[in-house]
Each structure stands twice: as structure tokens, then as C-alpha cells.
Structure 1
Amino acid sequence: MVRIPGSPLLSLLLVGVTLLIFAVDAFTELDVAIAVMYVVVVLLSASIWGRRGVILTTVLCMGLTLLAYGLIHVSIFSGPASGRLMVSLAAIGITAFLALTGQAATEDLLARKEALRRSEAFLAGTQRISKTGSFSFTAPEARMYWSDEAARIYGYPTCQKPTVEMLLERTLPDDRPLVRAAIDQVMRCEGELDVHHRLQMPDGQVKYVHVLAQPTYDQAGRCEYLGALMDVTASVLAEQALHQSQVQLAHVTRVTMLGELAASIAHEVNQPLAAIATNGEASLRWLNRPQPNLDEACAAIGSLLEASRRATEVIQRIRALARRSDPHHLPLDFNAVAEEAAGLVRRELGSHSVSLRLELAPGLPQVCGDKVQLLQVLINLLMNAMQAMQGCAPGEASLLLRTAQDDKGGVACHIADTGPGIAVEDLPHLFEAFFSTKADGMGMGLPICRSIIETHGGRIWARSTPGQGATLSLALPAAADAMTECA
């Protein structure tokens, strides 16, 4: 029952109707239940006034009915008149009960409608702020509905009914096969949907979206997907910027590390250059003899070329470490990377009076990674270990670089030193940015190592017993388990 806000005119009209019914009932001799007409008054009062007004009107109508009966039949009892009285009172009471019930139901319905409107407004506002739209997809009819925010994300008018063709039209061409496969999955109603893809707007703007949906079934067994569409462009661009910053920071760290390895680099390059000079002079001596010894000259020239090749490899390794470029993940022999890292720090080992022992397990699976980044990690760990053993007595500083296959089928590498170890309270913070156990340390080497290893799908950790050295370990998945990154 719809309530019309009360007004003086309507109230006066209702009072007039009430008095008219009372006058007819009390001052006429009609043998009908005139008082039944009070039900109209009760119904009208329910449309104008609230619950209290209806109750007061009902009581008034019953009172007027009794008053009219008393005025006419006060001295003479009439059975039919008494029956009409009871019918009238019952009709007024029942009508009042129904009117109050209907009024309560109407008010409850209006309250629910207002709550729904408020909820829809809150949901629309929340979706607009969070850039998350909602949608439904009914299979196999491919009937779709979506919220206003979902339409805005796709760049369509909110009044336009969505279709599969509209979705594909906005999808970046490179991602359309992925979206078609997702639509086929929904048409077959096969499990949950979780898709990341890109949209291309008419103005050329590219959006990154994340679609999540779950199937529901009605009583007839029909399948309908209910889901959410999130515009994650801002977070993806922020992640890309963070990745670029990490790459630049890693490059700066590598260049700084190369400065620390300057003596080792000079030694590495000087050795093949000296061999080239020696073999060149030997070749000239063999050729300048009265009877040139061509076999010895050829052997010396062969050694000269081999030394030249070694020098070229050293320079290429240094250039690779110094070059700023995006990582390239390829299948790698981790033992070969470990040997190369050991070769680059050989001079530093000598200057720190540290002995290095390699225990490289044969037959290890290949790992999927960027060689330059993995070299950076191993060199950093070896340099840290050497610096930690500066206080060791002569002959006591030793390093062990050991590789093995871990329990998950990947490759594990352990670098153990004989230094003083790491304090127990420092171990939990060892890989945190700007935390360093060295007085002049920046606290960026190990965090970068952790970032690189985690980017490769692996993990890095430390173990130490104070006074008995420390062991830094890392584990990488086998290339077969990381084929996506290698692709």
C-alpha cells in the first residue's frame, strides 16, 4: 500500500466522510450495516497517516459505530441490529489489521528498495574508485551483462549491451587468442576463469586487465559465470618501473664491483697478453734460425692464438658485466658459471691470502637464467666471504664453493668460509636493503642477490655459527621446470 504524505485538505476530507457515515448510521432507519462503510475511512487513513493514525482512526470508527447503535437501540433491543453491529465492528477491525499489515509491508519494501538503491550507489562508487567492474556470462547462449564500470573500462557507453564481439574488438591483437580460449572455456563451463590480458582503446591507449570468474548453476542446471574485471594498468606500469629500477641498480652494483676487481681484471688480461708476447718472440726465433724450425714456429703461433682467444674471452666477460641490458634467460651449465666466477676473483683471492676449493657435482641439470646476473651473484658472495675473513691468521682463510642437486631436482650452490661467522641477531636481516655488517657497507649487495635469485625462481639463504664461519646458499630450479622463463 502506497502512503501519500498527509495534507490538511485530505485530512478534512477524511473527517467529513467519517461524520457523514456516522450521520447516516445514527439518524436514518435503514436496515443495513451502514457502519461497514467505515472500512473506507480506515483504508484512506492508512494511505494518509502512519500506524498511530490508523489505530486512532480505527478506535474512533468503532466508537462512532457503538454510539450510533446506542442512540437508536438504547431502549429497544434488536437482534438484527445487534448482528449488523457485530459485522460492522468485525469488518472495521479486520480492515484495520489488513491495512496495518499492508502498511508495514509497504514500508519494509520501501526501506529495502532504498537500501538496495544505496547499496547499488555504494557499489558503483567503490567500483569506480577501485577500477573494478562486475559481469555475468550465461553459457551457451553467450548472453552477457556488465556493470557501468566494466563498460567504462572497455570504453563503451554504459547503456550498450555487451557482446563477445565487443570484447574481442577492444582486445590487443596479440592477446586475442588468449581471450578466445577463455571464452571457449566459459562456453564449455569448465572451471574457474583467471586471465590477464591487454586492451587497446580507440585512441591507442593500452590497458592491462585481470579477469576472475566462477561458474554458478541454477535449479535447471544452466551455467552462468559471475566475475570481476579489474583495471590493473597502474600496478603493472609500477611493477615495470620497479623492474627497470632494479635492473639499473644491479648494473650500478656490477660496475662498482668491477672497480673492486680491477686488480683481478688486470691480472686476467695481463696473463694472456704476456703469453702472446712470449709466443710471438719464440715464433720469430724459430723462424730466424739459419734453418727455420717450422714445426716449433707453428706450435708457438698456435699457443699465441690460444692466448689471444683467452684474452678475448676475458674482455668479453668484463664487457658483459659492465653492459647495461635487460636480462636474457637461457639454459645454462651452472658449474661453468661457477668456474668463470672463480676465475674472475682469482687475483683477489691471492691478494687476500684466501684459498678456494671447488667441489662441482657432475651431471647437474641445466638451469634457466641470465649468465651475467648469476655471475654477479656468485662474485658478490665470494667477495663478501673474502672480506669477512680478513682477520683470519695466515693459512686459515679458505673458501669452499660446492654445487649439488637439491631435493627438488634443481641445482644448489653453497659458499662456505672459515671467518668469524654472522651474529645470530643479524641473520634475519642479512638480505634486507641497506643492512650491512660492514662499517663501510651500503647494504645493497645481498638484497640485489636475493632479487636476482628470486627472479630466477630460486631462493637464497644463510647459515652461520658464530666463530665457525658462514655458509651462503642458493637454489635454482632446473631448466625443464622453468621453461616459461627461458622461452
Structure 2
Amino acid sequence: MKRFSTGPSAAPHTEVSPSIWLLRAGAVMLAMIIFLIDWLSSLDVAIAVLYVTVILMCADVFSRKSVMAVSIGCGVLTLAAFLLSHGAEWMVPPFARCLVSLCAIAITAFLAMKHMASRDALQAQIHLLHRSEAFLAGAQRLSLTGSIGLKMPSARMYWSDEARRIFQFDESLQPTLEYMMSRTHPDDIDDLKSLIEQAYARHANMEAEFRLLMPDGSCKSVRMLAQQVEDGSGGCEYIGALMDVTATKEAEEALHRSQSQLAHVTRVTTLGEMAASIAHEVNQPLSAVTTNAEAGLRWLNREVPNLDEVRSAIERIKSEAHRASEVIRRIRTLSRKTDPQHVLLDLHDVLHEAADLVRREVSRHRVSLVLQAADEPVWVRGDRVQLQQVIINLLINAVQAMSGMHGRARTLSVSLGNSEDGDATLCLRDNGPGISAQNLPNLFNPFFTTKPEGMGMGLSICRSIIDAHGGRIWAESELGHGASLNFSLPLCEPVAS
């Protein structure tokens, strides 16, 4: 941007340059010369009009008060020269020339004062403009946000210093779209090309996020926002902001890793609490395998072996072994630390697998578990392990909430279906003591728990998982009449093969 220099009156100076002193001395000497010529000369002309030159010279080297004083002094010198030359004789031509000179001096003084006022106002605005530029540059450096401009259809670009710093362009280099694309990461070059196509198509607003590949091999993540502005000639120009969001992206990835690690720890902790139930789930098919093997041997040891019974025993052994391997597979899946993989799932299968893992825990607390689900598959897109973790946490919380209840049957009803707004909804309703209205709003907050030994992270992790799946989770309760924990997920139609 073009810089403007400030004049002498823009700010007070403690030192005056020699040129200013020369101009001031020259103005004083010129005034004295004009006075002597006006006094001593016999020319029939308005010599005092030359005082206009003195006033104009003073307008560049004196303040407004000083210029006013000089103007008054010039008028006094004009009158003094007239009186010294003509005395008390008020001759019409000389007096008329004197009046002309006085009018010229007054008009010049008025115009000079007006010019100085306009100059000072302009200099004040220039000073404010420079200050605003400094503030803007400082704010851009602090916020890692640069400003850019794109003139269409010539594709001429304007860049702020911070935008150049983000792209690491030299000050002598005039950035162009080609230079931008040369800095863009190869995997994101299509996103930038799409943004450029939108600019040529004159879209009102544009937004894109892409990565930059720096000469030293490092990567930056930037976000670009631009808005269309029409100039006076009917052309199109985009004014936008370029933000360096590398630190934000790294923080989001670190948060995601921390959430994944915390969810994994919670799953392992839950499996540890369910150790007895898991051992029972594994022991049941193993005991059945032993029983069926012994039965098969007895049928073989008879005088006439009953091969049909032996075959049936072997089939039962195979079924129970498969059942045991499925239990172990589910436990290994829940305990394995892997990145979430969103695939097409039938929520029925996820619900039944989770219910099988906690069925022993449900029985131990003498709770009657009722599953109510529609016959058709409920297709959602998500991570099977994470959704199982949510359902297991909700089931165990409901079971533990009813553990202190006596005198009536403990019932946990789980219903799966479609809501009115077209989402898949899972509702777990118990007939326990319920949740107080004071605790209900904080139920899904981190570290909030009503259990003496609880950590307050289970429901918080459930909310994070459901939010990451594009759904929502909520609780409803009336104290003394049980509680209902619900979550909904967007439905997803399976792709026909």
C-alpha cells in the first residue's frame, strides 16, 4: 500500500530543519522588502498585493495562529506604508490600491487557513490509517489470519504480509494462482481447483480447506473464506481471509486420539467389571461341549453303537464350540485398540451381541431384560465396537440403578425402532428409582457421577461416540418412576448389489 508522508503540522517537532528556518527568514525579508518598496516607490501600482506571496510561504512553515498573525502584520504594514507615503491626504487612487491590497491579503489569509485546516485533517486521517494498518497487521499475526484479494477475470491477486508468511512467499514475489497451486498438497489440489472454478463461475461465497506442502517438507492446514464484491466498473472481485489452522487441526487430532484411548480404557475397565459374567458365558458352552462329548462316548461304547445319537452329540459339540468362539471373539473385539471404522450395520445385530455379553450381569442382579425390536433390519452407518460399548454402558447403568430396589420386580425394557423424524432410536427404560431433576441436566457431563465408586466418564464417552456418529443421546426420568436413556442415529439405506 502506498505510504503518505506527514507534513510539519502533523505532529509537534522538537527540532526544526535548516530549510524551514531559511523559508521563515526569507518570508520575513520578503515582507520587509515589499514594505520598503511600497513606502519609498512612486509606482502607481498596488505593490502591497505581493504580501500574498509572504502569506503563502508562511502557510507551509508556520502554524495557523502564526499565519493569522503574519496576515494581520501584512495588513498593518500595508496601512503603515500608505500613511507614510501619503500622510493624511486620502487620495482616491492610492487609497483604492491600498484597499485592493488589504482585500487580497484577507482573501489569501482565509484561503490559506482553510487549506491548512484541510491539510491537518487529511494528515490526521492518514495517521489514523497508518495506525489501523499497524493494528490490522498485528491482529493478523496474532490470529494467523491473512487477507487476500482476487480480481476476476484477470485473476490478479492482492496479498497481505501475513498471507505471504503463511504461504512462505518472498516479498518481491507477486503471488498468482499458479504459485498457490504449486504450494498446495498434491492430495488437496482438486479442492483448490474446485474453488478457482467457483470464482470463475462468480459464486457469491466460497469456502475451502486444504493443506500446503512447504519447501522444507512440512505441512500446513489452511482454511480460506471469500466473498464476492462488485466494483464500480461492473467487474468482480473476491475479498477473503486465509487462516492457518494447523495448530487447531493438530489439537483436534490429539483430542480424538485421547478420546479413543479413553474409550478403550473404559471398555477394558467394563470388561474387567464383567469378568464373572464373561467367565460364565465361556464356561457354559465349554461345559456343554464336555457333556455332549461324554454322551457321545457312551453311545459309542454300547454293544451296538448308536451312530445317530453320536452324530447329534457331535453337532451339539460343534454348535457350543462355535458359541464359545463367538463370545471370545466379541470380547477380543471390545478389548482391541483400533481406530473407528464406520460401516453399514444392522442395529439389531449390534443390540443382540451387546445384550448377550451382559446377560449374565443382568441375571445376577435379578433383572428381567425384555428386548422389543421390529422385524425389519435397522441400517445405520457406524463403528460396531463403539456402538456396542454405548449399549453395554447403558445396560449396566440401568441394571446397577435397580440394584438397591426391593419389594418389586426389576424390569429393563429395550426397544429399537424408527422415530417420527426418520432416525433409528434405541430406548432403554427401567423401573428403578429414577434420576432427580437436579442431576438430569448434568448426566452426560464428564466426571459427573452419582455412584460412590464411579468415575463419571461412562455416559460422557457414550455422548462423544453418539455425537461422532451424527446422532444424539438424552435421558428422561421422573423421580421414583424409573428412567429412560435413549439415543438416535441417522438411518442409512443399504446399497443394492
TM-score (normalizing by structure 1): 0.95
Aligned amino acid, residue 362 of structure 2: L
Structure 1 residue aligned with 2:99, among 86, 89, 92?
Answer: 86
Kept after mapping to 2: 8 A contact 1:364/1:404: no
Q: Which residue of 2 aligns with 1:298?
A: 311
Q: Does 2:452 correspond to 1:439?
A: yes
The separation in 2 between residues aligned to 1:101 and 1:159, in whole angstroms, is: 42
Pick which of 50-59 and 303-312 moved more.
303-312
Kept after mapping to 1: 8 A contact 2:429/2:484: yes
Kept after mapping to 1: 8 A contact 2:23/2:57: no
Q: Which residue of 1 aligns with 2:174?
A: 161
Aligned amino acid, residue 119 of structure 2: T
Structure 2 residue aligned with 1:383, among 378, 391, 396?
Answer: 396
Aligned amino acid, residue 89 of structure 1: L
The separation in 2 between residues aligned to 1:362 and 1:25, in whole angstroms, is: 117
Structure 2 counterparts to residues 145-156 of structure 1, below 5 A: 145-156=158-169
Aligned amino acid, residue 457 of structure 1: G
Q: Does 2:429 correspond to 1:416?
A: yes
Aligned amino acid, residue 122 of structure 2: L
Structure 2 counterparts to residues 310-349 of structure 1, below 5 A: 310-349=323-362
The separation in 2 between residues aligned to 1:292 and 1:187, in whole angstroms, is: 86
SS, match of residue 455 in structure 2: coil
Q: CA deviation at 1:395?
A: 4.7
SS, match of residue 270 in structure 2: helix
Q: Which residue of 2 aligns with 1:215?
A: 228
Pick which of 330-339 and 70-79 moved more.
70-79
Structure 2 residue aligned with 1:51, among 48, 64, 67?
Answer: 64
Q: CA deviation at 1:288?
A: 3.6
Q: Does 2:223 correspond to 1:171?
A: no
Structure 2 counterparts to residues 5-404 of structure 1, below 5 A: 7-393=20-406, 395-404=408-417
Which segments of 5 or more consecutive residues in structure 1 lack a partner in the other structure?
none
Kept after mapping to 2: 8 A contact 1:136/1:145: yes
Q: CA deviation at 1:169?
A: 1.0
Aligned amino acid, residue 264 of structure 1: S
Dislocated runs of 4+, deviation >6 Å: none
Aligned amino acid, residue 122 of structure 1: F
Pick which of 143-152 and 388-397 moved more.
388-397
Kept after mapping to 2: 8 A contact 1:364/1:405: no
Aligned amino acid, residue 96 of structure 1: A
SS, match of residue 107 in structure 2: helix
Pick which of 392-401 and 253-262 moved more.
392-401
Aligned amino acid, residue 92 of structure 2: G
Kept after mapping to 1: 8 A contact 2:342/2:383: yes
Kept after mapping to 2: 8 A contact 1:421/1:470: yes
RMSD: 1.8
The separation in 2 between residues aligned to 1:376 and 1:2, in whole angstroms, is: 73
The separation in 2 between residues aligned to 1:2 and 1:118, in whole angstroms, is: 17
TM-score (normalizing by structure 2): 0.93
Kept after mapping to 2: 8 A contact 1:353/1:394: no
Structure 2 residue aligned with 1:457, among 461, 465, 470?
Answer: 470
Q: CA deviation at 1:126?
A: 1.3
Q: CA deviation at 1:410?
A: 1.2
Q: CA deviation at 1:75?
A: 3.3
Q: CA deviation at 1:70?
A: 2.0
Kept after mapping to 1: 8 A contact 2:435/2:483: yes
Q: Provide Cα deviations, 1:374-408, integer angstroms capped at 9, x if missing partner.
A: 11111111111111111212552110111121222
Q: CA deviation at 1:364?
A: 5.0
Aligned amino acid, residue 327 of structure 1: P
SS, match of residue 479 in structure 1: coil
Kept after mapping to 2: 8 A contact 1:380/1:445: yes
Aligned amino acid, residue 321 of structure 2: S
Q: Provide Cα deviations, 1:308-360, integer angstroms capped at 9, x if missing partner.
A: 11111110100011111111111111121111111111111111011111111
Q: CA deviation at 1:192?
A: 1.0
SS, match of residue 331 in structure 1: strand
Q: CA deviation at 1:72?
A: 2.3
Q: CA deviation at 1:253?
A: 0.6
Q: Which residue of 1 aligns with 2:12?
A: none
SS, match of residue 404 in structure 2: coil
The separation in 2 between residues aligned to 1:315 and 1:214, in whole angstroms, is: 57
Aligned amino acid, residue 269 of structure 2: T
Q: Provide Cα deviations, 1:129-150, integer angstroms capped at 9, x if missing partner.
A: 1111100111221111111111
Kept after mapping to 1: 8 A contact 2:52/2:108: yes
The separation in 1 between residues aligned to 2:168 and 2:318, in whole angstroms, is: 64
Pick which of 106-115 and 19-28 moved more.
106-115
SS, match of residue 162 in structure 1: coil
Equivalent pairs, count = 482
Kept after mapping to 1: 8 A contact 2:428/2:485: yes
The separation in 2 between residues aligned to 1:239 and 1:480, in whole angstroms, is: 30
Aligned amino acid, residue 381 of structure 1: L
The separation in 2 between residues aligned to 1:261 and 1:92, in whole angstroms, is: 104
The separation in 1 between residues aligned to 2:348 and 2:421, in whole angstroms, is: 18
SS, match of residue 85 in structure 2: helix
The separation in 2 between residues aligned to 1:334 and 1:272, in whole angstroms, is: 26
Q: Which residue of 1 aligns with 2:419?
A: 406
Aligned amino acid, residue 427 of structure 1: L
SS, match of residue 476 in structure 1: strand
Kept after mapping to 1: 8 A contact 2:148/2:241: yes
The separation in 2 between residues aligned to 1:3 and 1:27, in whole angstroms, is: 37
